Amino acid sequence: MIKSNDQSGKEAQILAAARKVFQRRGTSGARMADIAEQAGVNQALLHYYFRSKARLADAVFLSAARELFPPVLETLLSDAPLPDKVQRVVELELDTLQRHPYLPGYVISELNQHPERVAQFARAMTGQEISSFGPRVLRRIGEQIDEAVAAGDMRSITADQFVINLISLCIFPFAARPMIAALTQVDDEGWTAMIERRKQELPAFFLGGLKP
């Protein structure tokens, strides 16, 4: 009965509020006062639960990083044929990002501005060290590429360029949404429509780029 009075879920409220504020303002731009207000609690309570801004920021970053990549990496590691994987990754990622539009920009900012985040990111990819996971994915994709190339179904491409191209096409539009929206002059509805079209067209575009 240690945290008896926390059925109200203050801790969860705080974390949710922190997610919102950190993702919009970045770690340095976020204010503890704003988080407290957003959570509807007193600022002192943030420190009671999370001790410091840095720790709270760590918690938020970790959960964000875990949301962004592991599902994709697991899909890429599965036994499905390559074209199916592409199809699934596009759907999975675009769906996730439509629900969490600020995630990519936030993760990119953090990773660029706070070097220590890189190691945290690596650990967040899975329980294990990235040293095993990243390369394992790339090896698996590489094998499948080799098969497809041997069968005459695909031009040769390195596994890392394959993966980089795929996630670039999925994630960048969300990270750069303000730019793109300005350039193409679309409002929120137009944006949603554009993303929906993208879900359908992207797999064909991506796989077409690899035809022999």
Partner DNA sequence: GTCTATATGTTGATAGAC
Partner DNA sequence: GTCTATCAACATATAGAC
Among 48, 116, 118, 196, binds a copy of itself (CB under 8 A): 118
Residues 6+ apart with CB under 8 A from 25: 31, 34
Contact call for residue 210 and a copy of itself (CB under 8 A) = yes
Task: Determine the interface stretch with a copy of itself among 10-18, 20-28, 53-61, 142-150 (rule: CB under 8 A).
Answer: 20-28
Q: Quote the Cα angle for 70-67-21, to 5°.
A: 155
Q: Which is nearer to DNA, 53 or 117 (CB)?
A: 53
Label residues 146-179 b or e (16+ Cβ within 10 Å = b).
eebeeeeebeebebeebbeebbebbbebbbebee
Q: Which residues bind DNA (CB under 7 A)?
A: 2-6, 8, 10-11, 30-33, 41-45, 47-48, 51-54
Closest distance of CB 36 from a copy of itself, Å: 18
- Binds 5, which of DNA, a copy of itself, none (CB < 5 to 8 A, cut-off by type)? DNA
Which token pair is 177? Answer: 């949404």
Closest distance of CB 153 from a copy of itself, Å: 13
Label residues 53-62 b or e (16+ Cβ within 10 Å = b).
beebbbbbbe
C-alpha–C-alpha distance, residues 83 and 203, integer Å: 8
C-alpha–C-alpha distance, residues 63 and 116, integer Å: 16
Q: How far is CA 77 from the centre of its chain?
A: 17
Among 1, 4, 183, 188, binds a copy of itself (CB under 8 A): 183
Closest distance of CB 48 from DNA, Å: 4
Hunting for tokens 């504020």 — which residue is that? 21
Which token pair is 51? Answer: 């001790």
Closest distance of CB 43 from DNA, Å: 6
Contact call for residue 157 and a copy of itself (CB under 8 A) = yes
- Binds 194, which of a copy of itself, DNA, none (CB < 5 to 8 A, cut-off by type)? a copy of itself
Binding site for a copy of itself (CB under 8 A): 24-29, 69, 102, 105-109, 111-113, 117-118, 121-122, 125, 130-131, 134-135, 137-138, 155, 157-158, 160-161, 163-165, 167-169, 171-173, 175-176, 178-180, 182-186, 194, 197-198, 201, 204-211
